[in-house]
Structure 1
């Protein structure tokens, strides 16, 4: 192999200058780099390993940024970044954090969009191509050349992808849609169309049933999707095409990973610690954690997800209508492969179809079932219409488990900061925020029980709660906790969580914590109680709010008697959030005492943040014990 080719690639023009052999050597070097990067830094490694040859071929044939590439989800854009001046961010360990895990125009002119959600590439490509064609009609030229959408990794199951295919066929003009068929989503792919794709693969693209041709699109099949020479030849043939075409290529996700057939390092059979240079198609290689994280305890979403699933599994044999639904990404939320296999028909992976999953849940609930829809806060954003119409408007008893909610150091496409403003402002949705594993199990038992409620959204506990429980002297195994848990509430009655709970009574100031902020609320309460030379001790009232869909008017009014200050803490966006409603309650109260209560709200600003450390965000938002205690003491001393 010719050494150091990748480090010499600064623009796509450098790829054009390589010989055919150097092109193959470059692919090998990139694959080696990805494996090393994954071990040390982590990331979406499996999806990128599968598109090494495709991405090299794209940059060999086309001329970015004049020709536009739109990578669906864009978690498979690492190779694209390497070839567009960002290779050192993958080669030099000291620079690993310089680029995001998704395309971003702020990084490079070769990235058209910030993308982190699924299925949108074809629609975006249609928009670029439409404007290009309009410009050419008017002036004879455009800054945009070929438009290429690259979609795969299960993204084709998204409804918007089909909307894009339908529009592309009618729109016409140059549009190249590359379907990267790796036979995988994050886990397995699900849906009837994947059987048709299998028939296309088996027939070398000649099967009579062809969903792309059914849309009116031209079509080509490429079996050797990991052969750079073949891909260069095919892409040269479609370059400059005057009508939309689907190029269906068959690739191997995780190519280069150990396939782990004889490994016992996990239920999915993927050995992450010793990847070997051959195919490795397994769920674990979609996202690879760095070696430093191996052996760490479960993170909060997996821990509490496993606890929730174990609690539900106990009931499957007696409750045929109890169904867990995951629109892909099950493993991220503690829905393990073992659980899925044991659950059988009680578990449904709908693929990457959040909108369908929500409407599907509404159908199950309307028929008398008890659906539990589990996904990330950032992905629930896609279901807003179904949340309002199919679920809430129809008053169906569906339970929504919101994972990854709250302020975090995530990238700007996966923030969990905005969920409360969405869920809490839809009528007939009960929004619960547990502050412990036992509270979560109680809430889950009521939400999935016989009570005649409508939609219940449970904001699953985060790392703050997990850290507090980890430090406590208690049984910590999530399965054991679920097995030993008996609901401490009436699961057949009205919502037992509508009233806020006073954890500690006090005077002058009340600290209201919501969900993940309860550990901080307790810390503030303890800090205020300390007596030092400068400050007298303050015995604050500590309140666990439990829910954020309604105000506990009775308790809030009661706090007005003996409390001059009420402080609200939430790990979500302040504007439109829960704390502002507490402020409005007091401001609009006809009760003289209540109207004179001063309220301080602490939470996140309305902004997008990109990989800002959580500690830095908490400092920015004033969500620290020191800042809040100082504010409280200052006000009470006035």
Structure 2
């Protein structure tokens, strides 16, 4: 075994050439073995094995800065940088993160849980290096769809014009840009990826001194060459027009070529794009045949590729089916997703109504703005998007939707704590920022039945922008539909009033049971709508309460509890004592949702404890 003796990237550099391909095979076996137990992002990592090994043959990531984009491509990197023994804890509470985390290792340059920011971050690092007169390489490894985000092009535009030595590695696995085609392309790419070509190019540039573009003859030859290349090989011109030297496309599973190209890119000392073609899921037949299925996968049987499902329905699937039913009733209903058709439950909608389904890729801001255009012209657009991803569309929510009170519906998936993806993916901000946008109605179903009803309300009964927020996974013990009013009482009690919304009602009701056994009679109220919050709605239920406790799986600043207390206080009806039970200001790590709720004190035991402490 070679892999078990790899503890640092220096061990990778020390390997003989003939040991590298066996190492890659072992890495793929390692990934399948561990991800099959813990779940995680498999297909993208299988495709990046040779590329990651080549990076560690050429660069020193303890000093050189490697910025991942998207970050879930980092498993091989982690295995080669001293973290193999931690893979049994991958994405588990207190274990190894599924994304780069500088707190884990000096080899992780930057937290990377979302997408399209790597070139911008890398350019900042490169400029810091130049200003500080230091010597190290900066690489942005972008792929798996991240190049579909607009921020990537902002970064490329600025980086290419900067002249800063910077290497952008485009891991093109079929989810980034369209492939080049044709015999000329294939032939030229082979020529350009051979060491002899690089040595010749380096020698030729050297003939004209340190600044060849200042020489008229070099400029003339360069202009002729560029014109010919644009005619024969148009795929490379996007990056070169931005100021990059373009190398590729390179076979991303050919280690020798990868090593040569990366070494040449480092020597060029200018902005370089290295276009690497990889196969998502490479080396594991089930993942190669179904890369989408094995993109983010739960525990599975490595022999059959069958996912070990926990069984039962989930909010995303219920949302997708309900939206498809609404679309069958009304031809104005259309669906938008940002590269998450399966994750948001929209795959059946896409199949049934392909003309009314739009996947905008990793471009949430564009998705929101496009929804605004659809709404302005009379359609009923529904943008299904993960809560943490919706943050990228915040500006458009204000300027393109709310200012014109357009009837755009948001299906805010993964609201609240999401579990194994950790701090970059928890949906703990949408309840705060959506509620602050004028004109937005924010609905919070606590069961599948309420989700079905609230989505119909959002589409057909409410004017202006509406968000329906719901969690990842299935429903709890609460399975009723009490969505007919903004506030409903789920349990009576005289000692304490416990207010909450969404699926946290399950913990609130369980906390009320605990408190009952301790002699505390607890009233449980459920908010079906957290925006708008108005005194006339709240007062009949909350005015002048003795002890009001508000439980939320959101951060504390600007939370529903604070806003409710402020509204009551403005009218002289503040509670005698207020207890806010929420996430405070702490980013929670990866882990199972019950574990995270317990750590944050928003599970039944934590809520009951907070209430009892407030009563003493």
**How high is the TM-score relative to the length of structure 1?**
0.82
Q: Do the aligned residues in 2 keep the contact of 1:571 with 1:603 (CA within 8 Å)?
A: yes
Match of 2:333 in 1: 322
CA distance in 2, matches of 1:77, 1:295: 24
1:250 deviates by 0.9
CA distance in 2, matches of 1:428, 1:119: 30
Match of 2:239 in 1: 212
CA distance in 2, matches of 1:488, 1:537: 25
CA pair 229-299 structure 1, distance change in 2 beyond 3 A: farther
| Alignment partner of 1:601 out of 555, 565, 580 | 580
Match of 1:516 in 2: 503
| Alignment partner of 2:266 out of 239, 248, 252 | 239
Is 1:102–2:81 an aligned residue pair? no
Is 1:586–2:568 an aligned residue pair? yes
Match of 1:310 in 2: 321
Alignment root-mean-square deviation, CA: 2.9
Q: Give SS of 2:587's match.
A: coil
1:553 deviates by 1.9
1:613 deviates by 4.7
1:575 deviates by 2.2
Match of 1:230 in 2: 257
1:208 deviates by 2.3
Q: Give SS of 2:73's match.
A: coil
Match of 1:173 in 2: 164
Q: How many residues align?
A: 567
Q: Do the aligned residues in 1 keep the contact of 2:123 with 2:166 (CA within 8 Å)?
A: yes
Q: Do the aligned residues in 1 keep the contact of 2:423 with 2:589 (CA within 8 Å)?
A: yes
Q: Do the aligned residues in 2 keep the contact of 1:508 with 1:562 (CA within 8 Å)?
A: no
**Pairs within 5 Å for 1:230-629:** 230-259=257-286, 279-280=288-289, 282-291=291-300, 294-297=307-310, 303-336=314-347, 338-410=348-420, 411-449=422-460, 451=462, 453-463=463-473, 466-468=475-477, 497=485, 499-530=486-517, 536=519, 538=521, 540-559=522-541, 563-590=545-572, 594-595=573-574, 597-629=576-608
| Alignment partner of 2:62 out of 49, 60, 65 | 65
* Higher RCO (CA < 8 A, seq sep 6+): 2
CA pair 428-382 structure 1, distance change in 2 beyond 3 A: same
Deviations 1:415-456 (A, max 9, x none): 2222211211111111111112121112111211264x2111
Match of 2:197 in 1: none
CA distance in 1, matches of 2:123, 2:400: 29
Q: Do the aligned residues in 2 keep the contact of 1:257 with 1:285 (CA within 8 Å)?
A: no
CA distance in 1, matches of 2:527, 2:188: 59
CA distance in 1, matches of 2:537, 2:273: 61
CA distance in 2, matches of 1:246, 1:167: 14
Q: Which moved more, 1:44-53 or 1:318-327?
A: 318-327
Match of 2:151 in 1: 160
1:506 deviates by 4.2
Q: Which moved more, 1:612-621 or 1:103-112?
A: 612-621
Q: Do the aligned residues in 1 keep the contact of 2:90 with 2:98 (CA within 8 Å)?
A: no
Deviations 1:209-250 (A, max 9, x none): 532123232111134211111211222222221211111111
CA distance in 1, matches of 2:353, 2:233: 35
1:294 deviates by 3.5
CA distance in 2, matches of 1:74, 1:87: 18
Q: Give SS of 2:81's match.
A: helix
Q: Do the aligned residues in 2 keep the contact of 1:72 with 1:151 (CA within 8 Å)?
A: yes
CA pair 95-321 structure 1, distance change in 2 beyond 3 A: closer
Structure 1 gap segments, 5+ residues each: 137-141, 260-269, 271-278, 475-486, 490-495
CA pair 45-97 structure 1, distance change in 2 beyond 3 A: farther
CA distance in 2, matches of 1:96, 1:547: 32
Q: Do the aligned residues in 2 keep the contact of 1:72 with 1:150 (CA within 8 Å)?
A: yes
1:554 deviates by 2.9
Match of 2:228 in 1: none
Q: Which moved more, 1:219-228 or 1:41-50?
A: 219-228
CA distance in 1, matches of 2:101, 2:246: 30
Q: Do the aligned residues in 2 keep the contact of 1:255 with 1:281 (CA within 8 Å)?
A: no
CA distance in 2, matches of 1:558, 1:95: 44
1:615 deviates by 3.7
| Alignment partner of 2:24 out of 23, 27, 42 | 27
**How high is the TM-score relative to the length of structure 2?**
0.85
1:27 deviates by 1.2
CA pair 92-599 structure 1, distance change in 2 beyond 3 A: closer
CA pair 529-229 structure 1, distance change in 2 beyond 3 A: same
CA pair 509-135 structure 1, distance change in 2 beyond 3 A: closer
1:385 deviates by 0.8
Q: Give SS of 1:391's match.
A: helix
Q: Which moved more, 1:20-29 or 1:281-290?
A: 281-290
Q: Which moved more, 1:164-173 or 1:552-561?
A: 552-561
CA pair 488-586 structure 1, distance change in 2 beyond 3 A: closer
Deviations 1:297-330 (A, max 9, x none): 4577xx2222222222224345333111110122
CA distance in 1, matches of 2:96, 2:337: 30
CA distance in 1, matches of 2:600, 2:490: 25
Q: Give SS of 2:475's match.
A: helix
1:108 deviates by 1.2
1:573 deviates by 1.3
CA pair 253-537 structure 1, distance change in 2 beyond 3 A: closer
1:96 deviates by 11
**Pairs within 5 Å for 1:187-206:** 194-195=177-178
Structure 2 gap segments, 5+ residues each: 190-231
